[in-house]
Amino acid sequence: MVDWESYFGSSRNLDQPSTHLLGLKMRQEISLPDGSQALSHYTDAVRFNDLLFISGVVALDAANNIVAPGDVVGQADFILATMGKILALAGAGFADVLRVTVYLRNVEDRTLINGLRQQYFGVARPASTLIEVSALALPGLLIEIEAVAGIPQT
């Protein structure tokens, strides 16, 4: 039987996850201090060992107002800039992104955001999936992007 108190200490609140070690496994939740408030029970990203899982990012400012209403390129730019901040908090950058999933309200908007993606990712080409959806979390959101990145060894 595992003695969990030896891992976490007797005062560990298991309802409040934080950075912890279990053998060689490390899990850390990452939240932007100036980001939008979560619409549900999630965090901006979770680092597990050398992988970073970025939750779906949408174009909401810190007050949860939609950024660039009606403008998929403006929303995508805000999203990718936000993802850049999340990556930086984890010690990574766009060149470290392994996979992205893009959710678009209109699949025809793909061509509008391709140039912007190239600006952010540069020569790096992550594995990518694009999915057209009938709705996102709030009316007026046109795009959502999630990603998985590898954390560089320092």
- Assign residue 81 the CATH number of its domain: 3.30.1330.40
Burial class (CB in 10 A: 0-12, 13-18, 19+), 71: middle
Q: Would residue 11 count as lying in a domain?
A: no
pLDDT in tens, 12-52: 344 444 444 545 678 999 999 887 777 678 899 999 999 99
Residue listed under structure tokens 């107002």 = 65
pLDDT in tens, 95-121: 999 999 999 999 999 999 999 999 999
Q: Would residue 20 count as lying in a domain?
A: no
Q: What is the CA radius of gyration of the chain?
A: 17
Q: Would residue 18 count as lying in a domain?
A: no
pTM of the entire predicted model: 0.83
| Domain assignment of residue 107, given as a range | 26-150
One-letter identity of residue 33: P
* DSSP secondary structure code for residue 154 in this structure: -
Q: What's the structural domain count of the chain?
A: 1
Q: Would residue 66 count as lying in a domain?
A: yes
